[in-house]
Structure 1
C-alpha cells in the first residue's frame, strides 16, 4: 500500500505564499492541498505531521552536481570524492542533475549514469546531462540527439565550457551544432534539451552564446549558463543575458579566496539581480556540489583547490532571505520552480495537486531544515537523517573500522 502522509497547519509556499494549509500526499504524488483536511477512513495507515510553526516548501532542485566527483586539475590526487545521499538530503535537495566537468576520461558518462540510478534507488530524483567541458561532446550512444531520446535520465547537455582556459576553445559553429542537437533531441524526447554552459573568467564572457544564436533560429533560452557570479564583469553580462530572455545560474559553493578576489556571493547576486528588475523565474542557484574549486594564478597555474558542497545551496537560501532581505517566495523560486522550468522537469519545483511529493518543512525563525520528504518518503526528520545511502554508516552504528 502506498504511504499516506498528512501535513497539518504549515505555512505553505508553493513557492508562492498560500497561507496556512494542510497537504496530503499519497505515494509519490501530492493528492490534496486545502484548509483543515480531514480523512474519514480512520483505518487507513496515515502518518500525520504537525506543521504548525513551520514553512512547507518544495524540495530543492539542484541543477548542477558532480555526483561522481570532479577536479583533477592538480593531478590524480586532486580528483574530488563522490556525493553521498545525505549530502543532498540534509541540504534539502530532492532532485539533482549530475554532470561531468574538465575530466571526461577518468570520470565517464556511464559512471555518472550509474551513480544517478544509485541515488534514485536510495531516495532522491536524479537526472544527467550528456557531454562535458569538451566539444565535440562525448556521448553514450554516439551523438547528443540519440542520448536524449534513448536514455531516460539524460535531459540535456553539459556542462560545456566557454571563456575558460580549461575549455576546448570551441568555435561558434561548434556551439551552434551542440545547441541544435540538444533542441531536436529534447523535442523528440519531450525533455528540456537545455545546454548547461560553464562560463570561466575569460574576457569573452557570454559573447559566444550571443554569437551562437545570431542569424539562426536558436534562442538564448537554449543555453543555461552557470557561474555567473564569478566576477563583476560576468555578473553584469549575465544581467544582459537575462534581459534578452535567458536564464542565469549563480553558484553557491565558493572559497574565501574567490570572494576576496571579486566573486559575488550567490545570495548577494540574487538580491542584486532582483533589484535590477530580473524576474526570479530567470534566476537560479546551484551548488556545484563535489566539484573542484580550483584557484589559478593569472597565467593558469594551480595555486590551490577546495571542494564544492551541496549544503551551500541551502546556506545561500538562508543568506538571501535573512541577510539580504530577499522575499522568501522569490528566494525559493531560484532553487525550486525556476531550475525545474529551465530543465523541463514539469513535476518538480512546485507544491500543487498532481505534482511529485518532494517537499521540506523549514523552521520559520531561521529556515533550518526540519523534515525532508522525497518521492513521498520521509528521508530527514528533526534535522537528522532517517535514511542513509547504501555505504553510509549511521553515526550511532559507526565502528571506526
Structure 2
C-alpha cells in the first residue's frame, strides 16, 4: 500500500471559511483551488473520495481577494542623501504578511545605482518565492530608463512590464519634463501596451510643486489619450493637491491613487483621511485606489531643497488605514476592498484574473480575522503566509 500523500503536495486545495466577500458577500463558505485558479465556490462542497485535496479549515476567518499594492520599491528607494541613504529591498514575507498577493515594483529618484534590470531580477525573484509581481519600466527621470532601450519594446517583449512609472512631475527631483515630452511618453506607452495586449498604465509621481496636476490636466484636455491611461499617485501630499485631485477625478472621470504615508503630518492627509475627503467631495469609490510606497524613502528637505534626513516607508500603514475606513464605517467592507484590490486590478489592466473571488480567477485569497488582520495569504492557490507559523519567508 502506498503511503498517504502529504497535504502540502496535493494538487487541489479546499478552503473552508466562515464568510466570503468576493468583494460582495457570498452565500458560499468553501473555495476550491485547482492549478492556481478558483475552480469552485459553494457551501459545504463535497469532494469525491480519493481526490488529491488539501483541506484548510478556517471557519473563524473571512476570505477576501488578496490585496494588490501598485507602488512598491521592491529593490529599495532613497539615495537622495548619498549611497548611505539607499533603502533596503522588501522581502516576500513583508509583502504576504500584510495580506498582499500582488505588487508592482517601481524605481524612483535613483535609477543610477538601481536599474530596470535590477528591478526585473527582483520581480522575478519575488515570483519564485510565490508572490505575484509586476513592474513599471522607467523611473523619475526623462528620458525614462528602459530594459531594451525603448518603451514600446519593454512593454511588448517583457511580460512583467505592465506600464511606465513612477515618472515624476511637480517635484524638484523630477527632470522637469516639458508638456510635449509627457505627451510623447504616455503615447509611446499606450501603443507599446496595445501591441502586447496590456493596458499600459502611466504611473505619475506627484511632488508638492506649484504645477500640481496641471501636466495631466493638459494631457487629457489637449490630446486623445483616455483618462484610464494615467494615474497620479501621492495626491494627498498636501491639502491643495488633494483638493485638486478631487476636481481632476470628477472633471475627467479619472483615477487617483492615495498613498498611505507613514509620516502624514495631519490625519486628513493620511490614507484614511484622504480617502474620506475624496468621498465627501463626491469622487466615486471606484475611482480611488490606495498604495503604500513601501521601502521608498521619506526624505526631508529644507526650504532650499537640501537633504536633511530620511526614513524608510513600510506597508503596515496601508493596511491600518484601510482597516480604519471599515471600522469607522466610512465604507462597508465590500466597497473598501476595492481600494486595495478590485479597483487596483482594474486600473492596472489585471481585472480579468485578479481582484475578485470568482471561478476562473487567480486563486489569490487573503483570510482575515474579526479585526480585519491578515492571518493567511494564498497566491495562485499556494499559502505564502500563515500567521500561525514562525518562518520569515513563504514556504
Q: TM-score surpassing 0.5?
A: yes
CA positional deviation for 1:39: 1.1
- Match in the other structure for 2:346: 341
Aligned-pair Cα RMSD in Å: 1.7
- Match in the other structure for 2:77: 70
The answer to whether structure 1 residue 28 and structure 2 residue 36 are counterparts is yes
CA positional deviation for 1:77: 0.3
| Distance of 1:333 and 1:389 partners within structure 2 | 26
Residues 1-400 of structure 1: matches in 2 within 5 Å? 3-40=11-48, 42-243=49-250, 244-255=252-263, 258-260=264-266, 264-323=269-328, 325-345=330-350, 346-364=352-370, 366-384=371-389, 388=393
CA positional deviation for 1:324: 5.4
Does the C-alpha gap of structure 1 residues 322 and 263 become closer, same or farther in structure 2, counting only changes over 3 Å? closer
Q: Secondary structure at the match of 1:241?
A: helix
In structure 2, list runs of 5 or more residues that go unmatched. Answer: 1-8
CA positional deviation for 1:387: 6.8
Check conservation: 1:157, 1:195, Cα contact below 8 A.
yes
Which one is further off, 302-311 or 224-233? 302-311
| Distance of 1:348 and 1:266 partners within structure 2 | 23
| Distance of 2:70 and 2:167 partners within structure 1 | 14
Check conservation: 2:290, 2:340, Cα contact below 8 A.
yes
CA positional deviation for 1:197: 0.2
Does the C-alpha gap of structure 1 residues 380 and 173 become closer, same or farther in structure 2, counting only changes over 3 Å? same
CA positional deviation for 1:269: 1.6
TM-score by length of 2: 0.93
CA positional deviation for 1:141: 1.0
| Distance of 2:334 and 2:274 partners within structure 1 | 16
In structure 1, list runs of 5 or more residues that go unmatched. Answer: 391-401
| Distance of 1:372 and 1:216 partners within structure 2 | 42
Q: Secondary structure at the match of 1:259?
A: coil
CA positional deviation for 1:117: 0.3
Check conservation: 2:10, 2:53, Cα contact below 8 A.
no
TM-score by length of 1: 0.92
